[in-house]
């Protein structure tokens, strides 16, 4: 049980990015009274205390189940904490989910001759995006969708299938009026060798998909698609956008055992008030892929540089610019010190309870020291789970990602340290749930100030706060080319004054 953390060793060598003046500033803060923190740790290691909590959450969980989706389960506890500006929620401008499909499109197709099979790949959140598009493509092609097949990823080697992660019955029920979903190909079709179609161009329109696949589908009965990432255009007719939202926000629900644990961890975080969830991207592969450096020490930076030389193919970022340019362009994930300074400037109180999502940072948990020093109530899923609770999940990257997803989705304030599929999905989900506070770091504009050592702390904080006034999760209209599951206004949400135009 890991709530009592020991940080005996930590990396003290700042790299050129880490300004020692700033580190002093961080460490000069008063420490939490030791005797108090010891009592707290004793309480947390007391099994009776945990049994009591589990009991309590059982009831709270039951009660939460009866609340409709769009209602915010924390609105009650939140009122107690309005004193702090940091926990204040953005003005949602009255936007509510509205998936009112037009009448004409509502006919479910009874056709039993055409089947779409899809193989989805990547991490859990990437697979999620592909499933959303697969449903829409099945709808466009008027085909039944065979439950998506999950390709085993060589990095994570997670063999989970759809129903290990998502609630399959729920998925079928919710989409019952939109797309016919079958668990497997019917016997009339299993002998057919599926035509694999690999050449769907990026951002294809429904017209393109219809004109290229309908004939094949009619002839062969089965169409097999893989590599669906961004194949379907982000700009679709209104009904198809609403369908995207319906899949992402209603149909794709995690399976009950994951949901139960995710909700339990959420309640453990919330038991003492509101909490902040951080999605930290500090794993080794993230630094290698982005062409960025963790800024821990020269030694660690060299390890990343060497890995990148060994595997140049891993680099996904533009390769003709230097690390420093990349950093200043806002293309690098924030490191622990930067995250600390950012949330401090944005008003996170020292007593803030923080949940952090993500894999073990490169350099070990010690690299999180700037955060744990400034915010002692700092936990991840391993810290919060009781012995054995995570056991069935721990070897499965997708299930672990799903647990993080649930706690982040439910948090009072959420901030990703870098974009990415999970950050985007949660941003959209929180917007749809009523524009819950989501901080999007304005990296490009804020980084020069991080490097300016002549700024006083209060000047720095004021500048950073100003830079983020409009990046707190307020309603934002989807622009062309953007994903409606990240920006659900206006297609999937409306307020009393919005006038809907069908695209």
Residues of the shown chain interacting with ligand NAG in the complex, contacts defined by CB under 6 A? 93-94, 98, 100, 102, 318, 320-321, 448, 452, 454-455, 459, 494-498, 500
> Smallest distance, Å, CB 107 to ligand NAG?
15
> Smallest distance, Å, CB 240 to ligand NAG?
12
Give the residue with the Cβ less far from ligand NAG, 98 or 174: 98
Residue 94 · residue 496 · CB < 8 Å:
yes
Give the residue with the Cβ less far from ligand NAG, 321 or 328: 321
Q: Is 270 helix (H, G, I), strand (E, B) or coil?
A: helix
Give the residue with the Cβ less far from ligand NAG, 82 or 452: 452
Which one, of 100, 90, 92, 60, lies nearest residue 76 by Cα? 60
Helix (H) or strand (E) holding 22: helix 20-27
> Smallest distance, Å, CB 288 to ligand NAG?
20
- Residue 154 has a CB neighbour count (10 Å cut-off) of 6
Give the residue with the Cβ less far from ligand NAG, 3 or 463: 463
Residue bearing tokens 């304030």: 413
> Smallest distance, Å, CB 106 to ligand NAG?
11
> Smallest distance, Å, CB 370 to ligand NAG?
22
Give the residue with the Cβ less far from ligand NAG, 21 or 318: 318
Which one, of 341, 291, 275, 219, lies nearest residue 74 by Cα? 275
Give the residue with the Cβ less far from ligand NAG, 173 or 319: 319
> Smallest distance, Å, CB 322 to ligand NAG?
8
Residue bearing tokens 């969830």: 277
SS3 per-residue string spanning 107-141:
CCCCCCCCEEEEEECCCHHHHHHHHHHHHHHHHHH
Residues 223 and 72: their CA atoms lie apart, in Å, by 41
> Smallest distance, Å, CB 467 to ligand NAG?
13
The pair of three-digit structure tokens given for residue 193, joined into one six-digit string = 């060798």
Give the residue with the Cβ less far from ligand NAG, 190 or 503: 503
Q: Which residue's C-beta sits nearest to ligand NAG?
A: 94
Instruction: Phi first, then psi: give them for residue 431, nearest 5 degrees.
Output: -65, -45
Please provide the DSSP assignment of 306-332 as one string. HHHHH-GGG--S-TTS-HHHHHHTT-S
Give the residue with the Cβ less far from ligand NAG, 100 or 207: 100
- As a whole number of angstroms, the longest Cα–Cα distance in the chain is 75
Which one, of 320, 327, 290, lies nearest residue 305 by Cα? 290
Contacts with 136 (C-beta within 8 Å, 6 or more apart), sequence order? 232, 236, 240, 243, 244, 247
> Smallest distance, Å, CB 86 to ligand NAG?
24
Give the residue with the Cβ less far from ligand NAG, 99 or 131: 99
Give the residue with the Cβ less far from ligand NAG, 310 or 500: 500
> Smallest distance, Å, CB 244 to ligand NAG?
15
Residue 240 · residue 139 · CB < 8 Å:
yes
> Smallest distance, Å, CB 421 to ligand NAG?
24
> Smallest distance, Å, CB 151 to ligand NAG?
31
Cα 279 → chain centroid: 7
Cis, bond preceding 490 (omega within 30 deg of 0): yes
Contacts with 143 (C-beta within 8 Å, 6 or more apart), sequence order? 111, 114, 115, 116, 217, 223
Residue 415 · residue 275 · CB < 8 Å:
no
Give the residue with the Cβ less far from ligand NAG, 93 or 190: 93
């Amino acid at each position: 049980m890991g709530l009592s953390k020991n940080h005996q060793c930590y990396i003290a060598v700042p790299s050129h990015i880490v300004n020692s003046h700033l580190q002093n500033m961080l460490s000069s803060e008063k420490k939490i009274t030791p005797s108090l923190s010891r009592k707290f740790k004793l309480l947390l290691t007391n099994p009776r205390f945990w049994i009591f909590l589990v009991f309590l959450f059982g009831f709270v969980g039951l009660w939460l189940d009866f609340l409709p989706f769009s209602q915010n389960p924390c609105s009650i506890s939140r009122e107690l904490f309005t004193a702090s500006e940091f926990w204040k929620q953005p003005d949602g401008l009255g936007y509510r989910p509205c998936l009112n499909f037009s009448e004409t499109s509502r006919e479910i197709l009874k056709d039993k001759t055409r089947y779409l099979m899809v193989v989805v790949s990547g991490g859990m959140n990437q697979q999620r995006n592909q499933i959303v598009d697969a449903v829409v493509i099945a709808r466009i092609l008027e085909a039944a969708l065979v439950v998506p097949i999950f390709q085993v990823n060589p990095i994570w080697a997670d063999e989970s299938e759809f129903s290990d992660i998502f609630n399959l019955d729920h998925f079928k029920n919710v989409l019952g009026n939109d797309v016919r979903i079958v668990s497997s190909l019917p016997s009339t079709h299993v002998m057919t060798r599926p035509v694999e179609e690999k050449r769907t161009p990026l951002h294809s329109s429904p017209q393109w998909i219809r004109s290229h696949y309908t004939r094949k589908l009619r002839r062969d009965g089965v169409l097999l698609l893989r590599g669906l990432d961004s194949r379907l255009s982000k700009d679709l007719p209104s009904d198809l956008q609403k369908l995207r939202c319906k899949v992402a926000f209603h149909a794709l629900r995690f399976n009950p055992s994951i949901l139960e644990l995710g909700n339990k961890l959420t309640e453990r975080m919330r038991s003492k008030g509101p909490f902040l969830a951080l999605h930290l991207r500090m794993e080794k592969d993230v630094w290698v892929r982005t062409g960025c450096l963790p800024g821990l020490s020269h030694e660690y930076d060299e390890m990343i540089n060497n890995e990148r030389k060994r595997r140049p193919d891993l680099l996904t970022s533009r390769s003709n610019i230097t690390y420093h340019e990349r950093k200043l362009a806002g293309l690098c994930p924030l490191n622990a010190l930067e995250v600390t300074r950012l949330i401090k400037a944005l008003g996170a109180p020292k007593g803030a309870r923080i949940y952090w999502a993500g894999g073990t940072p490169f350099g070990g948990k010690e690299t999180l020291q700037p955060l744990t020093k400034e915010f002692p109530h700092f936990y991840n899923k391993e810290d919060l789970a009781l012995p054995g609770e995570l056991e069935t999940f721990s070897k499965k990257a997708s299930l672990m990602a799903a647990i993080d997803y649930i706690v982040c989705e439910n948090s009072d304030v959420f901030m990703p340290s870098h974009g990415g599929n999970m950050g985007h999905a949660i941003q959209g989900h929180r917007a749809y749930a009523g524009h819950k506070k989501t901080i999007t770091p304005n990296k490009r504009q804020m980084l020069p100030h991080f490097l300016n050592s002549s700024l006083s702390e209060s000047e720095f904080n004021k500048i950073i706060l100003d830079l983020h006034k409009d990046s707190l999760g307020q309603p934002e209209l989807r622009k062309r080319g953007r994903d409606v599951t990240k920006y659900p206004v206006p297609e999937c949400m409306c307020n009393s004054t919005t006038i809907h135009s069908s695209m």
